[in-house]
Amino acid sequence: MIERTIFPNGLRLITIPHRDAKTVTVFLLVGTGSKYEPKELNGVSHFVEHMLFKGTKKRPSALHVAEVLDRVGGSYNAFTGEDSTGYYAKVDAAHFHLALEWVSDIVLHSLLPALEIEKEKGVVSEEINMYRDNPASHVQSVWTRLLYGDQPAGRDIAGTKESVNSFTRDQLLGYWTAQYGAANTVIAIAGPVTKKECEEAVWKLFGAMNTHMPLGKPPVNDSQERCAVSLEFRKTDQTHLAVGGRGFPLFSSKRYIQGVLATVLGGMMSSRLFTNIREDLGLAYYVSTSSDADPDTGSVVTFAGVKNAEAARAVREIVKEYRAMAEHLLSPSELKKAKDNLWGRLVLSLESSDAQAGFYATQELIEGRVFGLDEVYDTIQAVRAGDVREVAKAVFQSAHLNLALVGPFTDTAAFETVLSA
C-alpha cells in the first residue's frame, strides 16, 4: 500500500513498502526546472544540480561525496527536466539510513565552492557540445525550439554556453535557496521499509528545511496558425527529423488517448510507421512516435533518421499515416494491441524500487496526488477507437503540423508543401 505524509513544513513523503525487497531507493524531487528560468538564467536548474555533488559541510569535496555510496555499491544520480529536478540513491536495504542522510546532505548542505563553479562551467559546456554534435539528439532541441520559440518552454534544459559561463555564485545560491523549499519538495522511499520508520528518519533530517515560496512558472504561449518548418543545415550522411503536432497536456482527459495514438503510430516494432518506414520502404534505421504530455504543453511527434535523398518522401509517408489516423477508425484488434502494449510497457518499467519511487514522486509533485496502477489500467482500457480518431483530428490538422530537421537542406518551402499537401 502506497502511503502519503505531509509534514508541518509542507514537505511530502511517499512510502512504497515492499517487505521482501533487497534494495531501497530514496528519491527526492524538487518542483523546479528549465521552464521556471528567466532567459538570463537559462540552464541554472541543471547547473545547480551538478553543483550539489561538489562538496558539503560534512563531505567537502566531490570525491568525499562520491565515496560514501561507492563504498557500499550504491547507485546514485540526478537529473533536470523542464518541470522538476531529481536526486536519488539506491542501495542494499541495510544502508537505507546512509542513503537518506546522503541525499539530505547534498540537497541541504552543499557548499557551491567558487573554484568548482568555474570548473563545472567547462564540464557543462562540453555536455552541451556533446548533444549538439549528435544530430539524433540535437533534432529534439530543434523540435522544442520550433514549437515554443524564445520562451522557457522552448529553451534547452542545459542552457547555452553563453548563459552557463555567465553564472555567478550569488545567482546559483539565490536560485537554490528560493527553489529548494520544503513545500516544493517530495521524497519517495521504496523498499522494505515502514511508513513510521521513514517518517521519523525524514523528519529528523529535513525538519529544518527552508519554507521559502519558490519562483513561479510563466505561462506558455502555445498558439500556432500555420504549419512550420525549421531546418538546421549539417553535412550529415543521414537526415534526422521530427514531425508532429501540438497535443494535449498532462491534465487533459485525452492524455491516455494520445498515448494510445502514439503507440499505434510508432510505439512498437509492429506499429504502423515502423512497419512502413523501416520494414516496407527501408528508409530509416530508427523511427518512433511518442506522446509528450507535460503540465502545460503536449505534442505527438515522430523521430526518424532517414536517407538524405528520401527525406521528403519519409515526411510525406509519416504525414499520410497521420491523416489516415484522423480519417479512419482503428480495428478492434489494433486498438487492443496498442492499449495492452501501453499498459504492459508501464508495468515492465516499474519493476525496480528506483522506478517506482520516481513514478510516485512525480505523480505527487506534478499532479498533487498519488494514484494506483489500477486507475491507470482502467483509464487506458476505457479508450475507444472513436476517441483516438478525434484526438488525431485535433493534433494532426495541417495548420498545426511542424517539422524539425537536421541535415543537408536549406529549402524550407519544399517541406512546407509536404506538410500542407
- Please tell me the predicted confidence (pLDDT) of residue 1: 87
Residue 213: the pLDDT is 86
Q: How far from each other are the two terminal CA atoms of the chain, in whole angstroms?
A: 53
Closest CA to 16 of 198, 203, 201: 198
Kindly report, as residue ranges, where domains of CATH 3.30.830.10 are found in the chain.
Answer: 3-206, 228-420
pLDDT digit of tens for each residue in the chain (421 aa)?
899 999 999 999 999 999 999 999 999 999 999 999 999 999 999 999 999 999 999 999 999 999 999 999 999 999 999 999 999 999 999 999 999 999 999 999 999 999 999 999 999 999 999 999 999 999 999 999 999 999 999 999 999 999 999 999 999 999 999 999 999 999 999 999 999 999 999 999 999 999 988 989 999 999 898 999 999 999 999 999 999 999 999 999 999 999 999 999 999 999 999 999 999 999 999 999 999 999 999 999 999 999 999 999 999 999 999 999 999 999 999 999 999 999 999 999 999 999 999 999 999 999 999 999 999 999 999 999 999 999 999 999 999 999 999 999 999 999 999 998 7
Would you state the pLDDT for residue 223? Answer: 87
Q: Are strands 401-407 and 228-233 parallel, antiparallel or unpaired?
A: parallel
Please give the positions annotated as active site.
Answer: 49
> Residue 7: phi, psi to the nearest 5?
-85, 165
CA separation for the pair 266, 209 (Å, rounded): 44
Determine the CATH number of domain 3-206.
Answer: 3.30.830.10
Which CATH fold would you assign to the domain 228-420? Cytochrome Bc1 Complex; Chain A, domain 1 (3.30.830)
Neighbours of 179 (CB within 10 A): 22
E strand or H helix that includes residue 240: strand 238-246
The 8 Å CB, 24+ separation contacts for 265-272 are 265/289, 265/300, 265/302, 265/321, 265/322, 265/325, 266/290, 266/302, 267/338, 267/341, 267/342, 268/338, 268/341, 270/337, 272/321
Residue 39 has what pLDDT? Answer: 97
Please report how many Cα atoms fall inside a 13 Å half-sphere around the Cα of residue 227, on the Cβ side: 23
Distances in Å between the Cα of 329 and the Cα atoms of 251, 333, 366 are: 25, 11, 33
Give the C-alpha separation, 415 to 421, whole Å: 10
How are beta strands 23-30 and 401-407 bridged, if at all?
unpaired
Residue with cell 546522503: 102
Q: Indicate the length of the chain as a whole number.
A: 421
Q: Beta-carbon neighbour count of residue 236 at 10 Å? A: 14
Cα separation, 244 vs 413, whole angstroms: 17
Taking a C-beta distance cutoff of 8 angstroms, is the pair 323, 389 a contact?
Answer: no
Reported pTM: 0.96
